[in-house]
Amino acid sequence: MNNRVRRRRRCQLSVPASSLRKIEKALGSGVDHVFLDLEDAVAPSKKAEARQNAIVAFNEMDWGSTVRCFRMNGLDSHWAYEDLVTVVEAAGQNIDTLIIPKVKHARDVHFVETFLEQIELKMGFEKKIGLELLIEEVEGVANINELAMASSRVESLMFGIGDYTRAQGVDFRDAFGKPRYYPGDIWHYQRSAIAVAARMAGADFVDGPWALIPDMEGYRNECRMVKTLGGVGKWAIHPTQIPVAMEEFSPSRQEVETAVRYLTEFEAAKAQGIGAIKTAEGGLLDIAAVPLLKQVIDQARFYGIEIPGVA
């Protein structure tokens, strides 16, 4: 599962496919990843129009280096079939990934995978569309390891707090931010389980939306919590959230310079037969720390961050 395509996902911006104006604006935002939403953000009467807008956006608009994605309707709806047939047949060569919402079982992933294979064969598409699984149901968390390994197309696992709140029977007032009565983060277990499963499968863990748009401090804190667990990004449902996520999921200049310095010092010490070096904080770094230091430098390169001293 580790041969997947590596994509930037520091911020995944949700845009209603029913609005070409909003799509155009999103593509000029500089965000890593944009997904055109055919599901929750689109009224039933606008589903067909949204599909056509998505086709226009994928085929005619300039996406630059932005990941090209759409969120289909749930497999329990009567819109999912047309989402796949209409959008993928018309624009599949220009689509990087699609989001499957409310995933519960591996068979959900297998269904979409088989459907995509049929379309790709029929249309003669050379590229394969990646899958991003949105975990919004308790069954999805219970089966998370099975889902992560369900297909080589799986590129990311995402935690959708909104619908999951309903699925677990949590009061919506406790879903975002500090819960009223519970002493801690009520979503720690779910996020940790998703993060571990994603890592096991060689996929990315991405956190879902923060609904309290005016509370930018809360959004930033969520980004930091998710990054601490090994997450690579978070959704944005408003343009003001984009720069926060892009910053928080990027290694800082200081972090990269520190990694370069310690790696250089360690290599010099190793050449002299010394197995560990002291850090500025008084700790010790040995060979086990080298992959962690290289990981920071790799992230900087991957995100196009130019740091003096990094080849």
Is the predicted pLDDT of residue 144 greater than 90, yes or no?
yes
| Domain boundaries, position 243 | 11-248
Is the predicted pLDDT of residue 14 greater than 60, yes or no?
yes
Asked if residue 81 belongs to a domain, the reply is yes
Q: What tens digit of pLDDT does each residue of 90-143 get?
A: 999 999 999 999 999 999 999 999 999 999 999 999 999 999 999 999 999 999
The first and second tokens of residue 111, run together, are 């269904």
Q: Which of 33-42, 188-197, 211-220, 300-309 has the lowest mean pLDDT?
A: 300-309
Q: Give the domain-ending residue among 233, 248, 263.
A: 248
Q: What tens digit of pLDDT does each residue of 206-223 get?
A: 999 999 999 999 999 999
Q: Give the domain-ending residue among 206, 229, 248.
A: 248
Looking at this protein, which amino acid is placed at residue 59?
N
In sequence order, what are the beta bridge partners of 207?
Answer: 159, 234
**Residues 213, 275: one domain?**
no
The first and second tokens of residue 114, run together, are 């088989």
Please count the structural domains in the chain. Answer: 2
Q: The domain that contains 189 carries what CATH number? A: 3.20.20.60
Flag whether the pTM goes above 0.95: no
Asked if residue 181 belongs to a domain, the reply is yes
The mean predicted confidence, pLDDT, of the chain is: 95
pLDDT confidence bin for 41, thresholds 50/70/90: very high
**Residues 27, 60: one domain?**
yes
**Residues 295, 209: one domain?**
no
Asked if residue 163 belongs to a domain, the reply is yes
Asked if residue 2 belongs to a domain, the reply is no
Is the predicted pLDDT of residue 309 greater than 90, yes or no?
no
Q: Which residue has the tokens 């300039």?
A: 62
Q: Which residues, 6+ apart, have CB-to-CB distance to 288 below 8 Å?
A: none
- 3-class DSSP assignment, residue 297: helix
**Residues 220, 273: one domain?**
no
Is the predicted pLDDT of residue 232 greater than 80, yes or no?
yes
Long-range contacts, 201-204 (Cβ 8 Å, 24+): 201/1, 201/148, 201/149, 201/154, 201/157, 202/1, 202/2, 202/3, 202/4, 203/1, 203/4, 203/148, 203/154, 203/155, 203/156, 203/157, 204/7, 204/9, 204/155, 204/156, 204/157, 204/231, 204/232, 204/233
